[in-house]
Amino acid sequence: MPRQLHQPDRYPLTSKYDAAWLLDLDMGPNPLWLLEDLARDLALKPGMRVLDLGSGRGATSVFLAREFGVDVVAADLWVDPAQAAATFAQAGVQVEAIRAEAHALPFEANAFDAIVSIDAYEYFGTADSYLAYITRFLKPGGRLAIATPAMRQEIRDLGEIPAHIKACVGWEAVAWHTAEWWRFHWAITGLVTVTAARLQETGWADWLHWARAGRSPGRDSVIAMLEADRGELLTFALVTAIK
Ligand SMILES: C[S@@+](CC[C@H](N)C(=O)[O-])C[C@H]1O[C@@H](n2cnc3c(N)ncnc32)[C@H](O)[C@@H]1O
C-alpha cells in the first residue's frame, strides 16, 4: 500500500510534482520543499549555470532545470550517474550527471553562477578550509546556497549530543549547527557576503511529515528522533552567500 504524502500549501511549486515520484527518489528529508524555500533567497535566472552538489537521485536537479530554466550539473558521490541520468531523461530535462567527490571536483575555476546543496553539505562542508575550496568554482558575484539539518542550540553549548539525536545519527550530528554558526563560519573568512542564514520555522514539522510518508530504510529511527525532539532542537538551516 503506497504511503500518502500530503504536500503543504507553502510549497506551491513542489505541489505540482507527483508525490510517488518524489518518494521514489527519497534519500533524505523533503528535498524539494527545502529547495523551494532556499530558492527564495537566490536570484536564479534562465541560462545560469548551476551545480547541484550532492544531488542524490536527482529530484532537486529536475526542479532547478524545470522551475528556473537553469543549466544544471548534478554531482554526487553515492548515486550512479547513469541512474540519475535516466531520471533526467524521463523528466525531459537536460541535466549533466556526474560522479564526483566534493573535495575533488572536476571543474574549472569560476565555472558556476550558483552552487546549491540540499541535505548534503553537512557530509563534507563543515571543515574550515572547505568554503575557500568550493567558492573557487563560483564566478565573482555567484551564490552558494545550502539547506542542511540544523540545531536551535549548538551541540558545543549543550555539552553533548542529545541522546535522541545520537541514537539516530551518532557522531554525525556534530556537523549540525545553528544558522548563526553558519553565518559566522562563512562571514568571518571574508570570502563571501552572507545574504541569508535562517532556521526554517516549519523545518522540524516538514521533516517529520516527510519521514512518516517516506520509504528510506532508516525512517523508523528518524521518526523516533523527531518525535522525541518535539521541534525543540531540530530543524533545517538555509544559508546563502555571494562570492
Ligand atoms: C541525504 S542525501 C541527499 C541527496 C539529495 N540532495 C536529496 O536531498 O535528495 C546526501 C547526498 O550527499 C552526497 N554526498 C555525501 N558525501 C559526499 C561527498 N563527499 N561528495 C559528494 N557527494 C557527497 C551523497 O552521495 C548523497 O547523495
Q: Structural domain boundaries of the chain?
A: 14-242
Residue 40 scores a pLDDT above 70: yes
The dihedral through the CA atoms of 229, 227, 123, 88 has a sign that is negative
Between CA 107 and CA 171 the distance in angstroms is 31
CA 129/CA 76 separation, integer angstroms = 20
CATH number of 14-242: 3.40.50.150
Question: 10 Å Cβ neighbour count for 107?
Answer: 16
Task: State the pLDDT confidence band at 5, using cuts at 50, 70 and 90.
Answer: confident
Q: Please report which confidence band the pLDDT of residue 3 belongs to, taking 50, 70 and 90 as the band edges.
A: low
For residue 166, pLDDT over 90 is answered with yes
Query: Could you tell me the distance, in angstroms and rounded to a whole number, from the CA of residue 150 to the centre of ligand 1?
Result: 16
Strands 49-53 and 71-76: parallel
Closest approach atom of ligand 1 to CA 124: 19
Supply 166's cell numbers: 545520537
More confident residue, 230 or 214: 230
Distance 211 CA to ligand 1 centre (A): 17
pLDDT tens-digit map of 42-99: 999 999 999 999 999 999 999 999 999 999 999 999 999 999 999 999 999 999 999 9
The rounded mean pLDDT for the chain is: 96
Residue 50 near ligand 1, beta carbon < 6 Å: no
Tell me the per-residue pLDDT of 84-118, one tens digit each, with 9 for 90 and over: 999 999 999 999 999 999 999 999 999 999 999 99
Please check the confidence at residue 214 and state whether its pLDDT lies above 90. no
pLDDT of residue 188: 98
| Closest approach atom of ligand 1 to CA 117 | 6
- CA proximity to 71, closest of 43, 99, 55, 94: 94
pLDDT confidence of residue 1:
36
Q: What is the mean pLDDT of residues 175-204?
A: 98
Ligand 1 and 115: CB distance under 6 A: no
Please give the Cα distance from 76 to 133 (Å, whole number): 17
pTM: predicted TM-score of the whole model, two decimal places: 0.97
- Does residue 30 have its Cβ closer than 6 Å to ligand 1? no
Residues 154-171, mean pLDDT to the nearest whole number: 98
Distance from Cα 77 to the centre of ligand 1, integer Å: 6
- Measured from the CB, is residue 210 less than 6 Å from ligand 1? no
